[in-house]
Structure 1
């Protein structure tokens, strides 16, 4: 049985397949809110500097001309893979105009997590075959280290401008060109020729190469086409159109705090919002004071968050109460499940805020299902957005047709991506005939209003989600096995109030390992020295005589998780 979206929540029209994202986002003829009715798409939450929608159009054009001159690129010459740019930066109001300028030339943007270590960034630079790296002053030391390891010369490193307040009086090094300088140079250059794409080219060409951990090995490059992003932007707009029309509400002022390298922020916040005329108040990263100040100052109405920030707001209510947060009317959460207890506690403090939850993946180019503002059911990840089809499959590969019966969620949509870069095996395992295996266990339930709601029960894949960021156990295991104290190991997730989950290492000590305390500290430091913070072993290290495995050698993680749960229960810890 194929589950379909409820038509009362809108229908998806024809998704353009012969235009780049920049045309779709900047030209009113493709459905974006008219420029004279749009709020400023991007505003800096620290300085108040803002771009109007018309200024964004000009900015994209100027940056594109400057990039064309800088790299010798022409819109209709060469493959998109000849024009791949890696971006390792904090959030800025220039990020999306810069991304679209790259698309205007037919290029690919590969955004990297700002918390990456040099080794992790090196992998992405090499795997994507990036021709240049754009970073910012606060991340420059890591960027330089990674570029050197990847063999990318300093002449191919550029800076995205960040507010002076972040730099603390530090002057940016003049040896690196900046996006502002490229844009200024572009103003005096001749106009670019239009991209000449035929039918289907927007569906075939990669626009973003985002990295997803997958279930094993190093992060994989997810090839996201122009049509994928256009489709999900249209799906979100269609899903919420009736509510916006019935409430006659003006475009929203939305928080743009989440990392722009993450698919949630990239598509849901930075594309879907401006397409509908919303204003995105951009903050470089989460810091409680600037977060609360920006809500009060800009009268933000919609908070796009992840569960750890919501938990922080509840824990630090005394601090939050010092600010006027009365402008907030809705909260949207994703990237990790929001517990019903947390949602209920939040409503006790902020009873006038609608809590909505969404579910999606990098591989679905974001939103699969979402809570409709007129059909809220706490604990649910909402209803399928227009244009999605879903199946629930048993472990034996049989289709489940009944409600309230768990199985793997398999989906199809024009937003489902092209596949993994240079990884046919993983692509074939995940994608088939337009369908995508999510690796997540889900249940379809009938809600009080007679609509079908999707509940995500558990992950079938072994990913650990730390504050919404993915951690692949196999990546950490491979790293740990190079430590002299580790003979064998497994990494599992354990619950954490602040992060949702954190990694814990179950280790078989080698013969050369020292005392337990020394070995534990050494193992933890070994991960901290080489991996991003969200991959650190915050759950600790436990020694064991042997790692339980199946006859084929697969680690029996469920057994290890059950052992941990029982140990926590006996210790009186919250399960």
Structure 2
């Protein structure tokens, strides 16, 4: 059993609204909470709380009750915070939908979650209307935040000036949010996270994520994903920092907003780290105020992290989490510069974890060096209640004693730092040997002519699984399959060689930065 080096935090029995906002001071209320990155429009903490309360009151007036589900199809704009926390303030459950979802995917989530209302923005109204019609959400229950004919708008809700309802529920068992797992290994499932889960994870991260009141946090990673929801939105609001929102990723706009708004804390996923490390345009922008680049959502290679740290002259760290953990379980603390940047760090407060050998089922023990690999199991107050309507999947993931089987393979060194080797279900079995795609991907990214890469298991002529690399080359580069395979072969054990190569324009990834391997396998 491995435990956190930090003392346990007290987890208050509060709703996420009360936890975040009940102790706002007069000085806090005058601070800027959110800035729209593209336009510069600002929202103070006083305005934010006023909007949250008004949204909660308007929803209650429209019949929303404790336990009802309300959908959100919305990118990162400042009013996301007002609507999202307004839903929770009303005692309802927010199911946040990937802004890139197709109508069919929206239908699936709305239907599975039994959502009664849906919030969206006008550019996303076409797909939202198709989905709403399919599941029986009428025009009055489809709220277009920025306004559209025939639908209520956020302005309409705020104009009611309704008093927020008095609601009562057990924060430990009441579902606050219902995000859906990324589906990188199958059909997305609704992850039931309680108010206590969300409160706990903010508390657990306080000693290790050093977002401060004067920080300007770039909010590019989507709020609809649990990483953005907890690590950006909720932690920044609790710390009374300033969130600078970006609705979608564009490298030039990312750099401009970071420069012009003086962003100090960048939360990113590894694909953005690749751009920060390799793209020549970085030199054209002043990123000197960036004091931390923090990566999550997928493994960050040590060499890549160190390249970013040197190029930006800043601290680069990463953490680890899952939707099912609200999401953070491991982080590299700010005072632990001795931990390799490729590590996911140490368990956060209130966390217990263990490694289980995938062949024998026995616990992996720590030693004087790096441990043997094993599946990471985690227990703590941030672990989900279960999967909505999927008792079978819940039983497969949650042990009776509260441990979550993460499906990720990890090792731990003698100092208690953890390293993710790869995802259990993504391991390639080549002639009985286990090959970790992430290891080969990190190696491929060291090639000067490769901009991005992904590796999956693919059948050879004999129907046996072999490592296949999907490669994105640097613009104008001349590179062939043999050269890629030779590059890898010189640097790995024989069973880890790349046996097939395909050149593609982009590596498909989820909004949180995870490689969508099932999409590559489908090719």
Q: Is TM (by shorter chain) over 0.5?
A: yes
- 2:63 maps to which of 72, 89, 97: 72
Which residue in 2 is equivalent to 1:281? 244
Residue 420 of structure 2 corresponds to residue 456 of structure 1: yes
Correspondence 1:195 to 2:109: no
Q: How does 1:164-175 map to 2 (within 5 A)?
A: 173-175=148-150
Q: How does 1:449-528 map to 2 (within 5 A)?
A: 451-462=415-426, 495=441, 501=454
CA distance in structure 2 between the partners assigned to 1:391 and 1:38 by the alignment: 45
Maintained 8 Å contact 2:139/2:150: no
Cα 1:571/1:215, change in 2 over 3 Å:
closer
Pair 394,195 (structure 1): closer, same or farther in 2 beyond 3 Å: same
Higher mean alpha-carbon deviation, 453-462 vs 142-151, is at 142-151
| Other structure's SS at 1:149 match | helix
User: What TM-score results when the alignment is normalised by the length of structure 1?
Assistant: 0.74
Q: Among 3, 12, 16, which residue is 2:8 paired with?
A: 12
Q: Secondary structure of the equivalent of 2:32?
A: coil
Using the alignment, how far apart are the partners of 1:334 and 1:41 within structure 2? 23
Q: How does 1:402-441 map to 2 (within 5 A)?
A: 402-403=366-367, 404=370, 405-432=372-399, 433-441=401-409
Query: Following the alignment from structure 1 to structure 2, what is the Cα–Cα distance between the partners of residues 338 and 216?
Result: 20
Counterpart in the other structure of 1:339: 301
Q: Aligned to 2:222, what secondary structure does the other structure show? A: coil
2: CA distance between counterparts of 1:350 and 1:570? 29
| Contact 2:202 2:235 (C-alpha < 8 Å) held by counterparts | yes
Answer with 494-503 or 415-424: which moved more.
494-503
Counterpart-to-counterpart distance in 1, 2:79 and 2:316: 30
**1:5-56 C-alpha deviation (Å, 9 max, x unpaired):** 113xxx3332123x3211111111xxx7875388422111111112222222
The 3 A distance-change label for structure 1 pair 66 and 340 is same
Is 1:271 aligned to 2:234, yes or no?
A: yes
Q: Does 1:176 align with 2:148?
A: no
- In the alignment, the residues of structure 2 paired with residue 296 and residue 36 of structure 1 have an alpha-carbon distance, to the nearest angstrom, of 25
Q: Which residue of 2 aligns with 1:230?
A: 199
Could you tell me which residue of structure 1 aligns to residue 119 of structure 2? 134
CA distance in 1, matches of 2:308, 2:28: 36
Contact 2:397 2:404 in 1 (8 A): yes
- CA–CA separation in structure 2 for the residues paired with 1:5 and 1:33: 32
Q: Report the 3-state secondary structure (helix = DSSP H, G, I; strand = E; otherwise coil) of the residue aligned with 1:381.
A: coil
The residue matched to 1:63 in structure 2 has which SS?
Answer: helix
Residue aligning to 2:477: none
Take 1:264 and 1:305, find their aligned partners in 2: how far apart are those partners?
Answer: 10
Q: SS at 1:325's partner residue?
A: coil
Tell me the TM-score normalised to structure 2 length. 0.81
* Aligned residues of 1:215 and 1:461 also touching (Cα < 8 A): no
Tell me, yes or no, if structure 1 residue 400 matches structure 2 residue 364.
yes
State the shift of 1:325 in Å.
1.0
Measured in 2, the distance between the counterparts of 1:5 and 1:179 equals 43
Say whether residues 1:119 and 2:104 are aligned partners.
yes
Which residue, out of 201, 206, 210, partners 2:175?
206
Q: Secondary structure at the match of 1:357?
A: strand
Deviates more, 1:149-158 or 1:128-137: 149-158
Question: 2:321 aligns to what?
Answer: 360
- Unaligned 5+ residue runs, structure 2? 429-436, 446-450, 472-480, 489-497, 499-523
Give per-residue Cα distances to partners, 1:177-200, cap 9 Å, x unaligned. 112221122x1x3x3343234xxx
Q: 8 Å contact 1:251–1:276 — kept in the other structure?
A: no
The separation in 1 between residues aligned to 2:259 and 2:300, in whole angstroms, is 25
Q: How far apart, CA to CA, are the structure 2 residues paired with 1:401 and 1:546?
A: 38
Partner of 2:514: none
8 Å Cα contact 2:266-2:292 kept in structure 1: yes
**Is 1:372 aligned with 2:363?**
no
Matched residue, 2:508: none
Runs of 5+ unmatched residues, structure 1: 162-171, 465-491, 507-543, 549-558
Give per-residue Cα distances to partners, 1:549-574, cap 9 Å, x unaligned. Answer: xxxxxxxxxx3337999x87874365
- Contact 2:458 2:468 (C-alpha < 8 Å) held by counterparts: no
Partner of 2:143: helix, strand, or coil? Answer: strand
Task: Name the residue aligned to 1:328.
Answer: 290
Corresponding position of 1:42: 34
Q: What whole-Å deviation, never above 9, does each CA across 1:355-376 have from its counterpart, x for those lacking one?
A: 0100000001111110111113
Aligned residues: 457
- The alpha carbon displacement at 1:503 in A equals 6.8
CA RMSD, aligned part only?
A: 2.7
Following the alignment from structure 2 to structure 1, what is the Cα–Cα distance between the partners of residues 483 and 394? 40
The question of 1:51 aligning with 2:43 is answered: yes
Matches of 2:3 and 2:216, distance apart in 1: 31
Q: 1:33 to 1:463 in 2, by over 3 A?
A: farther
Mark the CA change 1:504 to 1:407 in structure 2 (over 3 Å): closer, same or farther.
closer
The answer to whether the 8 A contact 1:343-1:378 is kept is yes
**1:387 aligns to 2:350 (yes or no):** yes
CA separation of 1:213/1:192 partners in 2, compared to 1, >3 Å: closer, same or farther?
A: closer
Q: Which of 133, 138, 141 matches 1:153? A: 138
